[in-house]
Amino acid sequence: MEKLVIEGGKPLSGTIRIQGAKNAALPILAASVLNGGSVIIENVPDLLDIRVMLDILTALGSKAELKDHQVHLDMSGLNSSHIPEELMKQMRSSIFLMGPLLARFGSVTVYQPGGCAIGERKINLHLAGLMALGAEIEENGSTIVCRVGKLTGADIALDFPSVGATENIMMAAAAAEGRTTIHNAAREPEIQDLQHFLNAMGARIYGAGTDTITIDGVSEFRPCTYRIIPDRIAAGTIMVAAAATRGNVTLEQVNPQHLTSLVHVLKRAGVQIVSSGDIMNVQCHNRPKQVERIITSPYPAFPTDLQSLIMVFLSLAEGLSIIKETVFEGRFKHVDELSRMGADIRVDMNAAFIKGVSRLYGATVEATDLRAGAALVVAGLAAHGTTVVEQIHHIDRGYEQIETMLGRLGARISRKPSGEDDRPAPADRSG
């Protein structure tokens, strides 16, 4: 186990390239199962979750290698559709393999997936979608077995625009007989990236980015090379960190259109943001202003994955800000940790009331999930004194060496073994 030690109070400054999108790479790696040959995927971030997915693919019989942000896959030897339970428990995104494995083998055995504890995230929409395509599903405790004689296209209306369910249905339907239409589909950029990848392999899918996706099934797929989109959540993390530390940061290889909702909120708070092509500059020289109301919701609304980060930023703003979380009921676990750093936040049901303070103070805090961990790192960068963030394996699931990434912008941050006794003394709060 490791921890991050952060000396705060230094504005971030400089230029940084944004990593490839984890949430696009994982379903695309899963979709490669449909291919009986070789696939090359570029701009893949070297993350814990990516490594787990590659371990799963290897356990199923494929050849998988990640080197210099490029994954080489040979799917010709894939010979199993039974995902090892110990690997599946490490990562929720392993559920993406249900659709493509079912399409390739006619059966798949999975287990209830693991991942961050940010609330109840049922897979019933995934299962209902596969059943609509003709699958029979048997559940025995945590084990789920899906079987199908022939996948057949169908009209599927999702009760909620679930990203994972939309992607699983897309992958299975790509190999089904006939046409499938997904209504109330998720609209995230990662959905569009999956469509582009599947089509590069020979699929016929239209409409990703809207709430209606049409899939005309095909009988075979071809080898391809594909490049992953930039990670909008990693980009948003850097943008918020720059603003919270009163810094000046330029982001390269970013898609500003994927960040419209965050840009809108930051500008309302007084942050200066200029975009040109795939480059964005973020500056904040004064104390930010309150933002009266932010509501998380599926894309293109404000993303739940940036909720904890924007909360850190608003905890330093003038006045009272309100955030309403509508996606995950367990996504306020970071509030207690921020309160230990001097933040003034009150939670009532699914709403957080943030009364801005002039300064945060270093403390020893614990990452309870991926995005909460990133938020605590940003809080540490903006705080007075030393912050220690523990349980950082959560952070490693979504950020490639976050200490190196932030260090390039001048952050004073280092990774150390958790056993080292270097907890900071309480920061002086008299100033």
pLDDT at residue 429, rounded to an integer:
57
Distance between start and end Cα atoms, the chain = 34
* Contacts for 146-152: CB closer than 8 Å, 24+ residues apart: 146/98, 146/102, 146/107, 146/108, 146/109, 146/110, 147/106, 147/107, 148/102, 148/106, 148/107, 149/106, 150/177, 151/102, 151/103, 151/175, 151/176, 151/177, 151/217, 152/176, 152/177, 152/178
The Cα 88–Cα 57 span in angstroms is 11
CA-atom Rg of the chain in angstroms: 22
Q: Is 223 a domain residue?
A: yes
Same domain, 139 and 189: yes
Cβ neighbours of residue 323 closer than 8 Å, sequence gap 6 or more:
293, 294, 295, 296, 307, 310, 311, 314, 351, 352, 354
> Residue 421: its pLDDT value, please?
60
Handedness of CA 402, 378, 16, 306 (dihedral sign): positive
428 lies in a domain? Answer: no
Are 208 and 195 within 8 A, CB to CB?
yes
Residue ending a domain, among 212, 227, 242, is 227
Same domain? 145 vs 109: yes
Residue 16, classified by CB atoms within 10 Å of its CB into exposed (0-12), middle (13-18) or buried (19+), is buried
Place of tokens 């709430």: 211
Q: What is the pLDDT of residues 102-148, one digit of tens each?
A: 999 999 999 877 544 434 446 889 999 999 999 999 988 888 999 99
User: Could you read off the pLDDT of 385-423 as tens digits, one per residue?
Assistant: 999 999 999 999 999 999 999 999 999 999 999 876 655
Residue 426 covered by a domain = no
Instruction: Confirm whether 146 is a catalytic residue.
Output: no
pLDDT single digits (tens) 44-92: 999 989 999 999 999 999 999 999 999 999 999 999 999 998 888 888 7
3 state DSSP class of 402: helix
How distant is the alpha carbon of residue 30 from its chain centre?
Answer: 16
Residue 269 and residue 402 share a domain: yes
Query: Model-level pTM greater than 0.75?
Result: yes
Helix H or strand E segment including 379: helix 370-382
Handedness of CA 35, 40, 43, 46 (dihedral sign): positive
CA 192, CA 229: separation in Å to the nearest integer? 10
Give domain status of residue 100, yes or no. yes
172 & 239 share domain: no
Last residue in a domain, options 202, 227, 252: 227
Amino acid letter, residue 39: V
- Tell whether 175 and 272 lie within a shared domain: no
For the ranges 113-127, 205-219, 294-308, 311-325, the lowest mean pLDDT is seen at 113-127
Residue 430 lies in a domain: no
C-alpha to C-alpha distance for 309 and 311, rounded to whole angstroms? 5
Token pair 């979380």 in the structure block, residue: 325
In terms of residue numbers, what domain contains 256? Answer: 2-19+230-417
Q: Are residues 68 and 95 in the same domain?
A: yes
How far is the C-alpha of 38 from the C-alpha of 163, rounded, in Å? 26
> Which residue in the list 116, 146, 224, 284 is annotated as catalytic?
116
Say if residue 132 is in the same domain as residue 245.
Answer: no
What confidence tens digit (pLDDT) does each residue in 1-33 have? 899 999 999 999 999 999 999 999 999 999 999
Residue 411 in any domain: the answer is: yes
Spatial separation of the C-alpha atoms in residues 260 and 258, rounded to whole Å? 6
Is 332 in contact with 347 (CB distance < 8 Å)?
A: yes
Sign of CA dihedral 173, 165, 147, 92: positive
- 315 and 404 share one domain: yes
Q: How many CB atoms lie within 10 A of CB 138?
A: 10
* Percentage of the residues of the chain whose pLDDT score is greater than 70: 95
Per-residue pLDDT of 212-256, as tens digits, reads 999 999 999 999 999 999 999 999 999 999 999 999 999 999 999
Say how many residues make up the chain: 431
Structural domains counted in the chain: 2
Establish if 398 belongs to a structural domain.
Answer: yes
**Residue 423 covered by a domain:** no
Last residue of a domain, one of 227, 258, 276: 227
The H-or-E segment that residue 156 falls in is: strand 155-157
Q: Are residues 179 and 275 located together in one domain of the fold?
A: no
Question: At 212, which CATH number?
Answer: 3.65.10.10
